[in-house]
Chain A
Amino acid sequence: MAVFRCSIIGIVVFHLATAAFAEIDFDRKVAPILVKRCLECHSENTAMGGLVLTTRSGLLTGGDGGSAVSVTNPADSLFLGRITAGEMPPEQRGQSRQLPADEIRILTEWVNEGSVWPDGRTLDLFETSSEVRAGRDWWSLQPVVRPPIPATVPGSQNPIDAFVTDTLAKRGFTSAPRADRRVLLRRLYYDLIGLPPTYEQTELFIADESANAWEKVVDSLLDSPHYGERWGRYWLDLVRYAETCGYERDQEKPFAWKYRDWVINAFNVDMPFDQFVIHQLAGDEIPNRDVNSVTATGFLMLGTWNDEPNDQQDYKYERLEDLVHTTSSAFLGLTVKCARCHDHKFDPIPQVDYYRIASAFWPGPIEPRDRKLVGGPSVDELGITEVLGWTDLTAAPLPLHVLKNGSRHTPLQVVKSAPLTAVPAMFHEFDAAPPGSGTTLRRLQLARWIASPDNPLTARVMVNRLWQHHFEHGLVQSPNSFGFRGAPPTHPELLDWLAVDLISGGWKLKRIHRLILNSETWMQSSLHPRHDEYSQTDSSNQFLWRANRRRLDAEALRDSLLMVSGQLDLRIGGESFRPTISAEALEGLSRKSSAWKASSPEAQRRRSIYIFMKRHLLPPLMTTFDLCDTTLPNAQRDVTTVAPQALALLNNAFSHDQSTTLARRIMLLATSSRERAFLAWRFALGRDATADELTLAETHVNGQSARVTAGRQQRTSAAVAWRVPDSTIPTRDLVFHVRADMGIVKDKVGRVLKWSDQSGADHDASQSKPDQRPVLIDDAASGLPAVRFDGLRRFLDIDGQLLETATCSIFAVVTDRHDGGHREIISNWKRGQNVSSSMFLGLTSDDQVRFTDSFSNAGRIADRKQPFVLSAINSTQAISVFQNASKLGQRESGLPNRKLGTPWVIGQQGDINGEFWNGDIAELLVYDRALSVSEQHQVWSVLLNRYQLPTSVRTVNVDESNPDLLALASLCHVLLNSNEFIYVD
């Protein structure tokens, strides 16, 4: 009440006071307040309480409560009353939004003076920017005009330097000195191709005294096919690139990788950016359409796709949102999707605009259809095979309605396909497709609108992206948000100058790269003599007074590790490879066994951009280093520094593999420890080590060598404690035991007809078909005989049932010569009976031990072509799998129920007539209980001694038995973990 009284007094006072002043300026004073404070809820399409305040008649007519202003008694107007009482604008989240006193005063004066409103003037929520939202006069929506280059500081040739220096000078700043040539070259390599220069490349460049040495190396890297791999990857983040659908099944989207290759190639051939836009949005609709342009429309197919949405019809609109969002984020830097349910809260994007854009995708394959199509067109519809592309399914789609609150149950008016209204000069509704057209041509028209030189956003957004990846931050630091909620440009003139230059240069990106890379701004040192002082006012280096030191991103890091170890395979393009992912990391999948099959080690040496991007299983090593999520467009990855990154680089097998390989590479070239250390620096860090560093390194290597030797002796002595020469195998509950030096009956051609059980349980093994019998090789297993299964359909049937419960222990002495595919040693699998509940022991295509389907990634075996003992112990509470006496895998729950009453065989997967063993089996034991640890030791003692096998498989690894190699690998490992390796100055 007190407030109200004050307001009345205020009104009276102001009323008296204003009589002496001139009429209030509507456009300058009143309209901005109405637009900012009222139109959100009182425009034609919102009209809360029936009140529309866009015209004078609306004001006079008023809403449900009657006329908003009283012409006869202005001071008594409902309009003023609600405002002065603080009821309008209404409170929000418990916060009053009462207008500031000066705004109330202006409105009061205006109403009291007769609420003068220029004839024909209709207000529009989006007409002007204010403190709370952007209007159509927002900076990024204004035409791009080439600004004058500032009168330059002497010596500055490059317009970029003129703009940047000018901005710095205004703050009294000066640029950092130019970085030295070694730093520059390394920075350039990472910047353009994502790989480090070799020592030789660096030295050549440093020695090149020609005036254009820098330009030459810039040009050669821009011409390198690896440029497209580096810069294409940034684009893939923006378009939420992945190769699977996500959701429950996460099924593969066939040929998604062809889109990736298209992007790489587009960057490499310097495809004009306007064409780049048009091909991705409408490569199927362009006049000169071809397989490549249709491949580009994979852009529209990359999103997540749910084959089991809650509501199929609702889901169509979710897909539209994905398409609108990705398109507007990637090309326009606007969040158009925010206008799906209502007018955009911050940018001049009315709700209808969202649907105008969405209508371009509406004729596409967004209706629920056959799951096999994964949300895209069929081959027939697309007209091209083996491409993941997009096209309209009809040239005459059903009308698309604006949806009230985004709900399809409350449709509003039908929309006509058109671009955004935020740029009025460019607005026109799209033409209907000419008769005979197979598609609506809406996407083509949308693409041409985006790619038009008149579009104020497209070029600005793209040059900003280029700038961002060269400098770490864009001139607009919110690269996907050029609207009200985005950051204002730090160098608006420079941004516009570059945008104009991009367009006038025929939308060629390499020109811009060249311009940037030849600027002093880019070539600055990352160190500034006045760092501390400048950081006080510009800690994030917005004004570019130095270069930003940058951490390698996930791809550059992995690729560099492979590169310095000498393993990197630089082939361009083609199908993706699947990196090895540890069994532990696979545990999160709901479908474990069929989930992941790693590619061959050779294939895994390719660059990281070729990693298969499975939405449910992004490689942990990559995500640890901030590989981004693939659900939404990502314009800027996080750069975190966390302990799991250190753990990964310190301990991950991939990382150790690179260190050891690098060490091996060095040992082939040098013999003394000092020379080796010297080479380690050259390979890993691309420079010569200092004398101090070499001394440190030598001390390290010598010390580590001694420690490795001591450690190995310790382990060996610990390991042999239980391994005694006179051990015997436990016989209690031994239900099956065959050994190739006993009980073999051969047929007349010398093949194994029968292999007699030595356990006393009479489970003899035999093969009735002569052509499916294996052979006996007399000295296959360390001089002892073994039964050879050659993978050509040989196997043996076992008499009777081996097990009553799943609790058991199996020991097999075998070799494995198979490559790829599952293969089994022993199995009771039977079609139609225990397909997912059989008992078997074998290997996967990935050389993982498979102890039934329930534990199918029990650890990878090593040195499999040499004889080894494979042991699998299942108790009710745990499973353990060993190779010799080394534990390969274990888990803390036993096998679930098994169906054990089906026939047993040796050498294939039950009766599947496949998955044949290809290798030798020298001995096989089955117990129908879990042996104790000491009993396991007894069995191993006997078998390892009989076949002269090492206790631990690891110690037979030649690498690991060489202390010099391991010590040098330790040094390499340190260098590959060092900040000098991980950061780029």
Chain B
Amino acid sequence: MTLFGDDNYPRRQFPCGRTRRECVWDMGIGFAGLALTSLLDSDSFFVDKVGAAEKSGSGPLAAVARHFPARAKACIFLTMNGAPSQVDTFDHKPELTKYAGKQLPADREYINSGGRKVGYLTPEWRPFRRGGESGQLISDYFPNVRKHADKLAIVNSCHTDSHAHGSALVAVNTGKTFIGRPSLGAWCVYGLGTENQSLPGYVVMLDKRGGPISGQPNWSSGFMPSTVSGTLFRPTGDPILNLRGPAHVTREIQREQLDLLQQLNEQHLGTRKGGTDLAARIESYELAWRMQSEAPEAVDVAKETKQTLDSYGIGKEPTNEYGRNCLVARRLVERGVRFVQLYSGGGHLEDTWDAHESIEKNHGKHGAEVDQPIAALLTDLEERGLLDSTLVVWGGEFGRMPFSEGKDAPGRNHNPYGFSMWFAGAGVKGGIRYGETDELGFQATTNPVHLHDIHATILHLMGLDHERLTYFHQGRHESLTDVGGRVVSGILA
């Protein structure tokens, strides 16, 4: 815990002890764009004025400046719900072959999640091969991603605080194992706003099989205003709720309604000068009108070329769904959305990456669903020049054990002690590996990276200082990383 006393830690504050931005937030959107900009500009909290000059639109989600210059304007978080096995994907452990059939040495302590059977050390289920000039080892569950090995910074030494899906998912999203805190995407939008006011700043796309365990708290704004919470997007048709009224309300009919509404509202406003709340609501109806056409357009992939659709594997199984989501993610990032989260795996057990029954069966299935789409996304972003300004993060809520769940049992149990995530794109040093697990892939030993560190690094890459990005709540300056977190500088370009 660190002292946040004013004299110890420079932070210009309102009399209530809150930063200017927090106070602006509290008042809601009730600001015309100019007022908001000038308030934020005059706040030393925002060091870099470049972002503010680029801001578009007004309101609480208006794009705002960063703590320091950074290349990433957007982040795509490819969330592998259910926890992929590191030793079968991105963390090659030849020693497992050597010790196959033996038990994990007794000195390695762990919690046996779910009290499952403890089996024997088991080598990777599919071979690892070298990819790219960097020759990074990636397994055959990700043959297409492997072609991008030179873009990836693979962090092999991740560790987290829970071995149970529910709390670990919440942790990978919010930093804490309990629900109620703002998620990573919410913090990014809180810190940076977003660049397209007709779309949400933080978009979440779920797997068709269901949401992640613990549901909405995974993309919640927690104690921050709901404006920064994740918005569920469906990849086809109307992506968000309430974009369309009953069938008889045509666009023409609705325009008539809005015109009368604005007339009545202007009349109402005429006798109520002072304050900005009424004017802001009038503006919000016009924005809503625009969103009705722009939001469906953002997910309409019909305009994409056949070549693009094919590259993502859209229109064929098993890649259709995740391919479509990845393509929509690119379209959203193109349109200025700040944070996009794509879940692979939904619901429970084998519908997710939770490979208790069989690594080969489970990862074979889910890997085939996402490998081509992810690879296509990286290619597509690169070809469009978007990879320079887009951070791509891949990972699950924890890893899996290097041993099986019984004799000849082909699955693996949960492992929060060591697992892999990877980064690519804006500000990331590609073709490298950071940190190590022990010789068995059981536990992070060299340069361990806690989830707080992952979060600090993502914020850093987005131009935000995880220690300065705070929200004052109930007497405390809350932050994503709380009292922990350090930027993993080893993966920065």
Contacts and interface: CB of A to CB of B under 8 A. Distances in A.
Do chains A and B stick together as partners? Answer: yes
B105 interface: no
A131 interface: yes
Given A133-B5, A342-B1, A893 B320 contact: yes
A647 B243 CA distance: 6
B29 A641 contact: yes
B210 A589 contact: yes
B465 to A, nearest CB: 10
B264 A590 contact: no
Contacts of A632: 180, 223, 474
Interface stretch (A514-522, A527-535, A569-577): A527-535
A980 B268 contact: yes
Interface band, chain A: 35 or more
Contacts of B193: none
B152 to A, nearest CB: 29
Contacts of A212: none
Nearest to A581: B241
A485 B4 CA distance: 10
A641 B211 contact: no
A647 B292 contact: yes
B245 A638 contact: no
B272 interface: yes
A590 B222 contact: no
Contacts of B5: 131-133
A893 B166 contact: no
Contacts of B254: 650
Contacts of B29: 640-642
A646 B288 contact: yes
A232 interface: no
For the complex, would chain A's binding face be called helix, strand, loop or mixed by DSSP majority? loop
Nearest to A653: B246
Nearest to A541: B275
B438 interface: no
A882 to B, nearest CB: 14
B220 interface: yes
A629 B475 contact: no
Given A589-B210, A590-B215, A638 B180 contact: no
B302 interface: no
Interface string A950-974: 0010100000100000100011011
A872 to B, nearest CB: 17
A588 B211 contact: yes
A919 interface: no
Interface string A907-922: 0000000000000000
A803 interface: no
A641 B24 CA distance: 13
Interface band, chain B: 35 or more
Q: Among A532, A587, A890, find the residue whose CB has the most chain B CB atoms closer than 10 A.
A: A587
A335 B474 contact: yes
A973 B16 contact: no
Contacts of A971: 260
Interface stretch (A308-316, A377-385, A764-772): A308-316
B260 A700 contact: yes
B347 interface: yes
A213 to B, nearest CB: 25
Given A589-B211, A647-B243, A892-B235, A338 B475 contact: yes
A95 B8 CA distance: 7
A58 B468 CA distance: 37
For the complex, would chain B's binding face be called helix, strand, loop or mixed by DSSP majority? loop
B161 interface: yes
B342 interface: no
A638 B28 contact: yes
A617 B256 CA distance: 34
Nearest to B278: A979
Contacts of B220: 629
Contacts of A975: 264
Given A481-B475, A590-B347, A708-B253, A643 B291 contact: yes
Given A132-B3, A645-B284, A696 B263 contact: yes
A389 B467 CA distance: 41
A774 interface: no
A246 B287 CA distance: 34
Interface stretch (B128-136, B140-148, B225-233, B449-457): B225-233
Q: Among B16, B215, B243, B346, find the residue whose CB has the most chain A CB atoms closer than 10 A.
A: B215
Contacts of A954: 246-248
Contacts of B223: 629, 632, 634
Interface in A585-644: 585, 587-592, 615-618, 620, 623-624, 626, 629, 631-634, 638-644
Nearest to A483: B475
Contacts of B241: 582, 584-585, 620, 644, 647-648, 652
Contacts of A704: 253, 256-257
A183 to B, nearest CB: 11
Contacts of B216: 588, 616-618
Contacts of B280: 641
A92 B208 contact: no
A619 to B, nearest CB: 11
A310 B475 contact: no
A616 B232 CA distance: 14
B242 interface: yes
A481 B475 CA distance: 6
Q: Among A92, A310, A973, find the residue whose CB has the most chain B CB atoms closer than 10 A.
A: A310
B275 A588 contact: no
Contacts of A318: 178
Contact of A481 (B59, B165, B225, B474): B474
Nearest to B162: A310
B286 to A, nearest CB: 9
Contacts of A815: none
Nearest to B16: A487
B282 interface: yes
Contacts of A247: 166-167, 179, 214
Contacts of A132: 3, 5-8
B406 to A, nearest CB: 22
B236 interface: yes
Interface in A548-563: 549, 551
Contacts of B348: 590-591
Contacts of B60: 640, 642
B10 interface: yes
Interface in B85-130: 111
B250 interface: yes
Contact of A485 (B17, B163, B320): B17
A891 B208 contact: yes
A38 to B, nearest CB: 13
Contact of A638 (B10, B26, B265, B472): B26
B307 interface: no
A980 B264 CA distance: 9
Given A527-B271, A641-B281, A877-B315, 10 more contacts: A92-B2, A95-B10, A308-B167, A549-B272, A591-B210, A647-B288, A650-B288, A656-B249, A892-B324, A971-B260
27 contacts: A40-B3, A132-B5, A247-B214, A308-B164, A308-B167, A318-B178, A329-B474, A345-B4, A480-B474, A485-B17, A488-B15, A582-B241, A584-B232, A590-B346, A590-B347, A638-B26, A640-B28, A643-B287, A650-B242, A650-B254, A890-B237, A892-B320, A970-B253, A975-B264, A979-B282, A980-B264, A980-B265
Interface of B: 1-10, 15-17, 26-30, 59-61, 111, 161-168, 177-180, 197-198, 206, 208, 210-217, 220-223, 225-227, 231-232, 234-238, 240-250, 252-254, 256-257, 260-261, 263-265, 268-269, 271-275, 277-278, 280-282, 284-285, 287-288, 291-292, 315, 317, 320-321, 324, 346-348, 467, 472, 474-476
Closest 9 CB pairs of A and B: A631-B180, A646-B288, A485-B475, A132-B5, A531-B274, A248-B166, A310-B162, A487-B16, A616-B215
